[in-house]
Structure 1
């Protein structure tokens, strides 16, 4: 009627908007509180020295707690908490990935040099490519699960799996399976790498001592917490270089997501042209580029942090908030995961992760040996 009379539509008043906001918040609050409460417990457990020494981070513990509750009492409250849980694993996750950039600076690249950057890039690219090839061609896994396991193994564990999920549009159980493989083999790496260091001292397969071995650990172990735990067992020199190499590898998350999104869009378009009946007509290319905007935010935060405008106390405070956001997203993911769906995935995801772990240990050692030699 307003359009017919040439009048503008009535605007929503301030009080009405505030009322809508309160209604939305009330719907989200139960799920947010449940996910946040589990995250808080996971973060508290993550401060226990024994768990820290064995590489169990707050994120890992949060998803385990979420799965325990999600497969026991949560179904009784799912109708009330579902909206807030979904909000946590989608929107809080993206914000958490953006703020993750405060852990990094551009200056980190200078500490490992061009050889360290090339090592990280080769390990990342080769591991993800192997995951896609072995997972889909040899093991018959669906592409999304293979990609998630590949991203977690190639970049930074659970955080990379969670960041890749919106790009590949995976289901909760696929994400959980991928995270589980990171936990299993990342934990194994904590105990294996100190042994490898001692073997390298005798055989001298990788020159450079503890510093070079730290770069090897940082470029091949899954989680940041697992890198720290493994490298600290070797010594402070190894720990310092391992963390820097790992941070440079984490920095590659943003360009990885952008390239993956472009590749998936192109692949979908090609498949649509090849099967016009599936596209609904004349072979329209329905592949659409899913731009991971949060990846651009991640890069912006890294660049901002490189300027060192924030005091150390401010960075520490925001980093703590970021850990809470990511832990909340992980807890929400655990709440949404059904054990039956994970069990249905079978042993193939674990077998893929085992093969990738073998590549990271052996192939990663070869890359760490030859790249510095070639680049001088």
Structure 2
């Protein structure tokens, strides 16, 4: 099973480099879960304990290690260079999407709290990586994680085709439009692709604004765990309080090291590649264990929630950015 997992994760990373897929911002993570789904649903092999052990290891340990190493993509200097406007925009976008998504998903659409939170955090912060980082706090079922990833990837891809059309009517300069892209797009790879569709200035602004949203992943996970899942964790731990996702502090420490020390390019590149591989392994394992019927059983309501958040990000985000830059 290790060979299959590595083949799926490595294949996803290779496919993500193809111009046709990179052009729409499809990164290795959604491709890994898709390939894992295909393999898991077509394979007729019985679920033996020897095969399950690598899958469980990837779902638990590889994901957490990948999130920690993902912190080396960021530095606090990037935040300082942005200016207060971008920080304010990102905070408002994340707070609004989380509040609306969780309320509508749980109260109006009748979704489980876990699915509503995972879908909302994927839209609000950084797509599949945010969903994976939040999953240990919510203790969601694997089909909820798969459904959240699938819907967020779908509407993140649709957004890629929307930004060039919006740019012609928005009246924002390229740098400001790049901030709009970075503050509303789902995935880091999509920020690069969408920015490139405008120009180099827009791409730089989009990537930096997007990386700030990624930086906010750590406090978002901690706050969601403390506010929404504290009672469950207290009961599960015999009254010991909220379960702390320690890997989040590793994520912060990695960003701090990258901010304080000028690490060699080859070392940074190696850690970023390792982070991508570990996260792709986790997504491959999730895909293998998820059946199509589980996703079909979720129905249309998760799609409706992701569609609402898609409209909120593009429409509300445009109004917010226009208000700051006009």
- Name the TM tier (shorter chain): over 0.9
Cα distance in 2 between the residues matched to 1:142 and 1:77: 28
| Contact map agreement 2:233 2:243 (CA 8 A) in 1 | no
What are the Cα deviations for residues 288-316 of structure 1, in whole angstroms up to 9, with x where unaligned?
Answer: 30101000000000000012331111101
Over residues 253-308 of structure 1, what are the superposed CA-to-partner deviations in whole Å (9 max), with x where a residue is unaligned?
Answer: 001111111113445489x8xxxxxx9xxxxx958301010000000000000123
Superposition map of 1:168-207 within 5 A: 168-200=138-170, 204=171, 207=172
| Structure 1: gaps spanning 5 or more residues | 1-29, 273-278, 280-284
2:105 equivalent to 1:135: yes
Q: Pick 1 or 2: higher relative contact order, CA cutoff 8 A, min separation 6.
A: 2
CA contact (8 A) 2:137 2:229 kept: no
Q: Aligned partners of 1:74, 1:248: CA distance in 2, in Å?
A: 43
Give the TM-score taking structure 1 as reference length: 0.83
Q: Distance in 2 between matches of 1:244 and 1:106?
A: 11
Q: Choose the corresponding residue for 1:296, options 233, 240, 249.
A: 249
CA distance in 2, matches of 1:354, 1:287: 38
Q: In the alignment, which of 164, 174, 180 is matched to residue 134 of structure 2?
A: 164
- Check whether the contact 1:264–1:289 (CA below 8 A) recurs between aligned residues: no
- Supply the distance in 1 between the matched residues of 2:233 and 2:296 (Cα, whole angstroms): 33
For the residue of structure 2 that corresponds to 1:76, the secondary structure is coil
Q: Could you say what secondary structure the match of 2:197 adopts?
A: helix
After superposition, the C-alpha distances for 1:296-352 in whole angstroms (9 at most, x for unaligned) are 000000000012331111101111111111101100010111111110000100000
- 1:81 and 2:81 matched: no
Unaligned runs of 5+ in 2: none
SS state at 1:247 partner: helix
Per the TM alignment, residue 64 of structure 1 is displaced from its structure 2 partner at its CA by 0.4
1:259 paired with 2:223, answer yes
Alpha-carbon spacing, 1:265–1:59, altered in 2? closer, same or farther (3 Å)? closer
TM-score by length of 2: 0.95
Aligned to 2:210: 246
- Considering only aligned residues, what root-mean-square deviation do their CA atoms show, in Å? 1.9
Q: For residue 80 of structure 1, report the CA deviation from its aligned partner.
A: 2.6
Distance 2:239 2:227 in 1: 14
Match of 1:101 among 66, 71, 83: 71
Give the drift of 1:36. Answer: 1.6
Task: Give the superposition deviation at 1:54.
Answer: 1.6
- Structure (1 or 2) with the larger CA radius of gyration: 1
State the match for 1:314 in structure 2: 267
**Residue of structure 2 in register with 1:16 after alignment:** none
The 2-side partners of 1:231 and 1:239 are apart by 4
> Aligned pair in 2 of structure 1 residues 132, 267: CA closer, same or farther (>3 Å)?
farther
Q: CA deviation at 1:370?
A: 2.7
Kept in 2, the 8 Å contact 1:215–1:245? The answer is: yes
Q: Is the 8 A contact 1:194 1:231 kept in 2?
A: no
Cα separation, partners in 2 of 1:62 and 1:265, compared to 1, 3 Å? closer
User: What is the CA distance between 1:199 and its match in structure 2?
Assistant: 1.0
Counterparts of residues 316-331 of structure 1 (less than 5 Å): 316-331=269-284
1:1-376 counterparts in 2 under 5 A? 30=1, 32-73=2-43, 75-200=45-170, 204=171, 207=172, 209-268=173-232, 286=239, 288-371=241-324
Contact 2:233 2:242 in 1 (8 A): no
Runs of 4+ that moved beyond 3 A? 265-270, 285-288
Partner of 1:24: none
Task: Tell whether the 8 Å contact from 2:176 to 2:325 is kept in structure 1 after alignment.
Answer: no
Is this contact kept in 2: 1:116–1:215, CA < 8 A?
A: yes
Q: 1:129 to 1:84 in 2, by over 3 A?
A: same
Partners of 1:185 and 1:90 lie apart in 2 by 27
